[in-house]
């Protein structure tokens, strides 16, 4: 296949895999697609380890890294307030509400924090430039071919550094005006992400958003994101004018994914109507699998979610408590699990290797195309 992004990144198929799991990233890159490691919750040491591992597996094939850099966040005006200082901005009522919820589902506190030196497996959501800088340094020391950024245009210094190193910069946009701002900031690829996507997402659907973004930013290539997990949806994306597809959810039930058994089982069973957009995890609307957690935050007695990064600071540790306990037999904590996932969860009914997902998409794409070709050529 040949589109502006297969040319730009020397890949066989314009299928981009966003995943927090290095195994998925390597498998998709090796299958002829392009793996992108979601590294926002990595420590610099973890990122170093993962990128080294990916490069060992992929032997020079191209891959990328995704970080999260919102322009606005609470405390930004203070030039990056300390976490301890930010913590004082979380109302007691919010903490009490969340503790009450965890108690109702018998979720105990986490075991005592590890001694200093024993870093936690995940560092939690880092959203300020200061926390991101060491991760960016690690990424640039490796042979990444693409750096992706969500939530706002990447800062000029980052685009400049990337371009100096020959690294392509991609950024997500949920509205036409955001796409224009991304291009203004020097982005090389715009990822037009529809509301059906998992995680942080806007309100406009992929079908409506993609053609408008394609027209607005031409000749900058656009990837379609949100609602894409098979070859028919990939064919549709190309028909909308996209140069490729950016998929996240579909990898979560692959063999390689680090998804826990409890979460995987819920994903495999879920329908497309079982997701919801909630501000209860990060403060910004995120599409997740609906659960007792999201229902509780929608209830009339629930406090309004806090702005970024306060809501994450409030919910990250409780969320880890839920995850830690949810695998125990008989635990009710699983009812509180709300993994980030898109509406395509309704299509995710089998467990496949990530490589198979890529090859299935390519095959289905050809079939879908043949079907349309037959319709159009008949007269």
Identity of the residue, 52 or 271, whose beta carbon is nearer to a second copy in the bound complex = 271
Identity of the residue, 44 or 221, whose beta carbon is nearer to a second copy in the bound complex = 221
Identity of the residue, 2 or 164, whose beta carbon is nearer to a second copy in the bound complex = 2
Query: 73 near 126, Cβ under 8 Å?
Result: no
Alpha-carbon distance of 195 to 287, in angstroms, equals 8
Alpha-carbon distance of 70 to 153, in angstroms, equals 8
Identity of the residue, 199 or 226, whose beta carbon is nearer to a second copy in the bound complex = 226
Alpha-carbon distance of 230 to 347, in angstroms, equals 9
Residue 35 found at the interface with a second copy (CB under 8 A): no
Locus of tokens 């496949």:
352
Q: Which of 155, 204, 152 is nearest to 175 (CA)?
A: 204
* Peptide bond just before 138 cis, omega within 30 deg: no
Contacting residue, 184, 203, 258, 298, with a second copy by CB under 8 A = 203
Smallest gap from Cβ 349 to a second copy, in A, equals: 11
Stretch that binds a second copy, among 15-23, 81-89, 97-105, 339-347 (CB under 8 A): 339-347
Q: Which of 346, 340, 348 is nearest to 18 (CA)?
A: 340
Contacting residue, 30, 161, 260, 272, with a second copy by CB under 8 A = 272
Stretch that binds a second copy, among 69-77, 99-107, 340-348, 350-358 (CB under 8 A): 340-348
Query: 193 near 223, Cβ under 8 Å?
Result: no
Smallest gap from Cβ 354 to a second copy, in A, equals: 21
- Please, what is the angle between helix 310-326 and helix 92-104, to 10°? 10
Residue 290 found at the interface with a second copy (CB under 8 A): no
Identity of the residue, 97 or 369, whose beta carbon is nearer to a second copy in the bound complex = 369
Using only the alpha carbons of the chain, give its radius of gyration. 20
Query: Residue 155: CB partners within 8 Å, gap ≥ 6?
Result: 69, 129, 185
Identity of the residue, 107 or 250, whose beta carbon is nearer to a second copy in the bound complex = 250
Identity of the residue, 50 or 196, whose beta carbon is nearer to a second copy in the bound complex = 196
Print the binding letters for residues 357-376 with a second copy: x by CB under 8 A, - otherwise: --------xx-xx-xxxxxx
Contacting residue, 343, 348, 358, 361, with a second copy by CB under 8 A = 343
Residue 260 found at the interface with a second copy (CB under 8 A): no
Residue 268 found at the interface with a second copy (CB under 8 A): no
Smallest gap from Cβ 377 to a second copy, in A, equals: 9
Q: Which of 40, 31, 110 is nearest to 354 (CA)?
A: 31
3-state DSSP call for residue 181? helix
Residue 315 found at the interface with a second copy (CB under 8 A): no
Give me 286's structure tokens. Answer: 């995120």
Q: Which of 25, 28, 23 is nearest to 37 (CA)?
A: 25
Residue 279 found at the interface with a second copy (CB under 8 A): no
Alpha-carbon distance of 150 to 77, in angstroms, equals 20
Identity of the residue, 185 or 208, whose beta carbon is nearer to a second copy in the bound complex = 208
Identity of the residue, 43 or 280, whose beta carbon is nearer to a second copy in the bound complex = 280
Using CB under 8 A as the binding rule, the residues of this chain from 141 to 180 that contact a second copy are 175-176
* Peptide bond just before 309 cis, omega within 30 deg: yes
Residues contributing to the site for a second copy (CB under 8 A): 1-3, 175-176, 194-196, 202-209, 211-212, 226-228, 230, 232-233, 235-241, 271-273, 342-344, 346-347, 365-366, 368-369, 371-376, 378-379
């Amino acid at each position: 296949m040949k589109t502006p992004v297969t040319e730009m990144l020397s890949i066989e198929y314009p299928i981009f895999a966003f995943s927090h799991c290095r195994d998925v990233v390597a498998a998709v890159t090796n299958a002829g697609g392009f793996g992108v490691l979601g590294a926002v919750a990595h420590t610099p040491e973890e990122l170093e380890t993962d990128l080294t591992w990916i490069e060992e597996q992929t032997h020079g094939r191209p891959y990328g890294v995704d970080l999260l850099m919102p322009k606005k966040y609470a405390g930004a005006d203070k030039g990056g307030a300390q976490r301890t200082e930010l913590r004082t901005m979380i109302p007691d009522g919010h903490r009490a509400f969340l503790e009450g919820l965890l108690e109702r589902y018998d979720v105990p506190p986490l075991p005592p924090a590890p001694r200093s030196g024993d870093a936690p497996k995940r560092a939690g959501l880092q959203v300020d430039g200061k926390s991101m800088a060491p991760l960016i340094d690690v990424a640039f020391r490796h042979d990444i071919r693409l750096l992706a950024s969500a939530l706002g245009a990447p800062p000029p210094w980052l685009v400049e550094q990337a371009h100096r190193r020959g690294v392509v910069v991609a950024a997500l946009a949920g509205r036409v005006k955001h796409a224009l701002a991304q291009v203004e900031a020097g982005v090389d690829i715009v990822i037009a992400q529809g509301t059906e996507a998992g995680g942080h997402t806007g309100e406009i659907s992929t079908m409506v958003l993609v053609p408008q973004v394609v027209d607005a930013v031409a000749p900058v290539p656009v990837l379609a994101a949100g609602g894409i997990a098979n070859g028919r949806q990939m064919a549709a994306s190309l028909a909308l004018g996209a140069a490729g597809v950016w998929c996240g959810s579909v990898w979560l039930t692959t063999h390689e994914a680090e998804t826990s058994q409890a979460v995987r089982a819920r994903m495999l069973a879920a329908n497309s109507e079982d997701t919801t957009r909630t501000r209860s995890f990060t403060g910004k609307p995120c599409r997740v699998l609906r659960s007792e957690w999201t229902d509780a935050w929608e209830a009339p007695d629930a406090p309004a979610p806090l702005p970024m990064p306060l809501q994450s600071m409030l919910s990250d540790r409780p969320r880890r408590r839920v995850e830690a306990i949810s695998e125990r037999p008989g635990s009710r904590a699983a009812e509180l699990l709300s993994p980030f996932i898109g509406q395509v969860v309704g299509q995710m009914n089998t467990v496949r290797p990530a490589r198979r997902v890529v090859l299935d998409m390519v095959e289905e794409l050809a079939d879908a195309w043949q079907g349309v070709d037959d319709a159009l050529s008949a007269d």
